[in-house]
Amino acid sequence: MGATGENRGFARNRVVIVFFALSMCFGQNRSELIKSALSGDARSQLSLGELYLAEDNYSEALRFYRLAAAQKLPEAECALGNIYRYGQGVSQDYKEAVRWYKLAAAKGWPEAQFNLGAMYDNGQGVTQDYSEAVRWYRVTAEQGMADAEYNLGIMFANGKGVTQDYKEAMRWYRLAAEQRNMPEAEFNLGVMYDNGQGVAQDYQEAARWYRRAADQGHAEAQFNLGLMYANGQGVEGDYPKAFRWYRLAAEQGRSEAASNVGVMYANGLGITKDYVESLKWLTVAISEGDKDSVEARDKVAGRMTAQQIEQAKQMAAAWKRCQGKSNCDARVKQ
């Protein structure tokens, strides 16, 4: 089981959708809201659009968003951008989404500015332009939007639209992590401390950030924290804890974690030796694309009876059918 410090490059194609809670913004029932919207009140039109969107009544949502947008309400313009971005009740149209985002962004609406950055980042509705993406991410990051802070960190870490700068990446990741406990940002901070990118290498800090992300269910962080415990890096070596974190990551489909769980069962590291469980997890890992587990699987199978091998295969198949279902009997119990 070898350590990894690889930054997996989380996707940056987040698009912000803002919903306004009617009960918080308006003391109106539906009939009063409709009456107000039809009388021309832009805020009521927007709220009614959000209400219909939440009910998946896209045609009515589109109708009232358009009415509010006709009155130059940037929130409604942004909402129309989302409607076209996702093809909700209309044909998906990235160019039309960008058009609406630009209208709202020009009025200073942060969510539209961020979404415009995402469109430039991913080349959706516009020619891909990392410099423009950075520009819009920076506009919203400087307003304290955690998603924008995180995405700007990604751009600096990868040198897209800016000169690669790990220190600046760390600065933005830290802002996102501290502002909203964002597990992706916390994981990336862990990776940078693990690798000494933009900061002096510090395994204890790496483990601290991995734990923060792992505690929120981040599979990559759980796997890396398992590695830290297995190798005694930044924490005291502890096979039972390593096993626990590997297993949690494996339950989320992390193939290398499933492989390590299998190896630990085979060798009785942190858990009672169990060849059936070992073969099960190695089989799961291979089915998820971890070809490096083939040799370990064959060695374990060579120590088992035909009946045990068949049992392990059935357990692996049951696990694959059950994966992601928290109430499934085949799921590993804590």
pLDDT for 325: 55
Sequence-separated (6 or more) residues with CB below 8 Å from residue 122: 12, 13, 128
pLDDT for 16: 40
Q: Which two tokens stand for residue 76?
A: 């409604």
The model's pLDDT over 54-84, given as tens digits with 9 standing for 90+, comes to 999 999 999 999 999 999 999 999 999 999 9
Residue 333 has pLDDT above 80, yes or no: no
The model's pLDDT over 251-292, given as tens digits with 9 standing for 90+, comes to 999 999 999 999 999 999 999 999 999 999 999 999 999 999
Span 84-93, average pLDDT: 96
How far is it, in rounded angstroms, from Cα 228 to Cα 187?
A: 14
Count CA atoms within 13 Å of residue 239 on its CB side: 13
Phi first, then psi, for residue 31 (nearest 5°) are: -65, -40
pLDDT for 18: 38
pTM for this prediction? 0.84
Instruction: Give the per-residue SS3 of 182-216.
Output: CHHHHHHHHHHHHHCCCCCCCHHHHHHHHHHHHCC
pLDDT for 28: 57
Query: Is there a contact between 322 and 329 (Cβ–Cβ < 8 Å)?
Result: yes
How far is it, in rounded angstroms, from Cα 38 to Cα 23?
A: 19
pLDDT for 7: 35
- Kindly list the domain boundaries of the chain, sorted by start residue: 260-334
pLDDT for 13: 35
Q: Which stretches does DSSP call E strand in 112-240?
A: none
Span 284-301, average pLDDT: 95
pLDDT for 175: 96
Q: What average pLDDT does the chain have?
A: 89
How far is it, in rounded angstroms, from Cα 150 to Cα 162?
A: 15
The model's pLDDT over 3-34, given as tens digits with 9 standing for 90+, comes to 333 333 333 334 343 333 333 334 458 889 99
Percent of the chain at pLDDT exceeding 90: 85
Percent of the chain at pLDDT exceeding 70: 88
Higher pLDDT: 1 or 235? It is 235
The model's pLDDT over 218-231, given as tens digits with 9 standing for 90+, comes to 999 999 999 999 99
pLDDT for 306: 96
pLDDT for 331: 47
